[in-house]
Structure 1
Amino acid sequence: MDTAWIALGGFILLGFTLEAITGFGGTVIALALGALLLPIATLVPVLVPLSLAMGIVLAWRHRGHLDQRLLWALILPAMTAGTALGYVLRPTLDPAAMKTVFGLLVSWTAARTLWQRLRSRPPSHRPAWRSRAITFVAGITHGLYASGGPLLVYALSGMRLDKARFRVTLIAVWLVLDGALSAAFWLDGRLQTAWPSVLHYLPIVALGTWLGESLHARVSERHFETLTALLLLVTGMLLTFR
């Protein structure tokens, strides 16, 4: 295993620890940092099964907080349709262009999060149709990059969700979508190639899950989200202009 794959292990630990705390960000952090060293097309079939593994554990452990109505009525229909479209579009896109677009997306969502933190104002309410449209676009980014979290969080901003309900509902979304993507990767042959790397990184995901669970109730999510946004902003800029 060369230096790039060793570094990816550190990125996975960082990202999945933060996802266990907040409910999102694991794959996008690991992918954004990993894409500085490895092709996105190589990383996605490795990261998706790892996200699925963590989702199974956390969704089951915290199932009592799951918002079933929000999950099935609003999020999954739009996210599933968008993810399917992103999966179909991905082979037609240029890898260099994908990296640039992904960098711009990461930079925009990170900058928006930081701007909201500076303003210290709650997100404004938006119409349901607009939330569904943004959720659909989040699904497309999930199908392309397995990283629909930032846009989905944007789509859900303004809703009155407590911390525990928000986290486990997001985790349930990744559980369903990453399960579908893992099956698709198995059918198209990419998971068989990625499987040895997935097995290597599973203990790191387990460690990240344990760390995130330990820190979830002890540390302010606001501080973690701000640090995550700063990290993503720098990484997104590197991906865009590299």
Structure 2
Amino acid sequence: MMTFLLTGIVVFLTHTLEVITGFGCTVLAFPFVTWILGIYEAKILLAVLTWILGAYLVSTKFRHINWRQFGIIVGLVGLGMPVGIYLFNHFPSDTLKLLLGIFIVCTSIMQLKKEYGGIQLRVTIPEWVYYMLLVFGGILHGAFATGGPFVVLYATRKLRDKGEFRATLSLLWVSVNTFLIATDATFDPLLSNIAAVATQGAAMGQSLLNLVWSLPFLLVGILIGEVVHHRVDAALFRKIVFWVLLATGVFIILAHVLHIG
């Protein structure tokens, strides 16, 4: 029971942030849920919950989707995902996650200084660099279902409206997690158990139990997140996005140092 409760609290806090901003729940929750459930169960649970949350946001915010940017993002993220799935199943990931955390922290601090008027970034970054961020985001999403930080660095430049930002990224998470769940063998036990429960009345396995217990916490997170999202203006929204991104990087580094996940 304590395991379910701790997981639920993490799901509630991180998915509330996801509803507010359109990203962040998986990468913020991943170190903690890995510590509680293990890396494979964490990947399964968080990918499915993100799919469910994304489906809700897409169905209710459909008119805000920027289809041109969605096409660019999903195409380039999709290129990287098969590489990430392969890496997750065949290679150690500690060094990759540490470098990711350091990169996110440095980038977030620069962006926050810019948002608060502390510095003016005068360096012109070539367009292809932003496109490569999407490919790297796809690799990370295939490996850990946590490719959001790289995608957000691109999206904050191209999707200035907070409604567009949230709706477009939500459609992305639905799309890439559908591919991930359908093609990654990590999810086979959950899918086969759901089929057995539905057709044979079999008992729920660990992955399905984790999911069922987490759904009420997800629902409460959706309700609270929706209220907060509509009360935040565009300038504050961008600051929240980069603060969440900074917290994401810090959590990734701490997870590496503390050997969590």
1:172-183 residue pairs with structure 2 within 5 A? 172-183=171-182
Q: Give the drift of 1:62.
A: 0.5
CA distance in 1, matches of 2:245, 2:256: 16
Partner residue, 2:217: 204
Contact 1:36 1:239 (8 Å CA) reproduced? no
Contact 1:135 1:155 (8 Å CA) reproduced? yes
CA distance in 2, matches of 1:200, 1:41: 17
Partner residue, 2:244: 228
CA 203–122 in structure 1, closer or farther in 2 if over 3 Å, else same: farther
1:41-190 residue pairs with structure 2 within 5 A? 41-72=40-71, 74-94=72-92, 98-120=93-115, 121=120, 126-159=125-158, 161-185=160-184, 189-190=188-189
Partner residue, 1:16: 15
Contact 1:114 1:229 (8 Å CA) reproduced? no
Identity between Structure 1 and Structure 2 (%): 27
CA distance in 1, matches of 2:35, 2:242: 22
SS of 2:160's partner is coil
Q: Give the drift of 1:226.
A: 5.1
Q: Give the drift of 1:124.
A: 6.5
Structure 2, unmatched stretches of 5+, are: 194-204
Q: Give the drift of 1:125.
A: 5.7
CA distance in 2, matches of 1:122, 1:67: 26
CA distance in 2, matches of 1:119, 1:69: 27
RMSD between aligned alpha carbons?
Answer: 2.4
Q: Give the drift of 1:157.
A: 3.8
Q: Give the drift of 1:140.
A: 0.4
Paired residues in the alignment total: 237
CA 229–152 in structure 1, closer or farther in 2 if over 3 Å, else same: closer
CA deviation profile, 1:138-168 (whole Å, cap 9, x unmatched): 0000001101111111133432521111111
CA distance in 2, matches of 1:101, 1:139: 14
CA distance in 2, matches of 1:221, 1:142: 24
SS of 2:227's partner is helix
CA 46–187 in structure 1, closer or farther in 2 if over 3 Å, else same: closer
Partner residue, 2:230: 217
Q: Give the drift of 1:130.
A: 2.2
CA distance in 1, matches of 2:186, 2:108: 37
CA distance in 2, matches of 1:141, 1:210: 29
CA distance in 2, matches of 1:66, 1:213: 17
CA distance in 2, matches of 1:47, 1:176: 15
SS of 2:157's partner is coil
CA distance in 1, matches of 2:101, 2:16: 19
Deviates more, 1:170-179 or 1:113-122: 113-122
Contact 2:85 2:184 (8 Å CA) reproduced? no
Query: What amino acid is the match of 1:213?
Result: E
CA distance in 2, matches of 1:182, 1:19: 20
Deviates more, 1:139-148 or 1:108-117: 108-117
Larger Rg: 2
CA 28–117 in structure 1, closer or farther in 2 if over 3 Å, else same: same
TM-score (structure 2 length as normaliser):
0.81
CA distance in 2, matches of 1:38, 1:150: 23
Q: Give the drift of 1:233.
A: 4.0
Whether 1:31 aligns to 2:11 is no
Partner residue, 1:240: 256
Q: Give the drift of 1:36.
A: 3.8
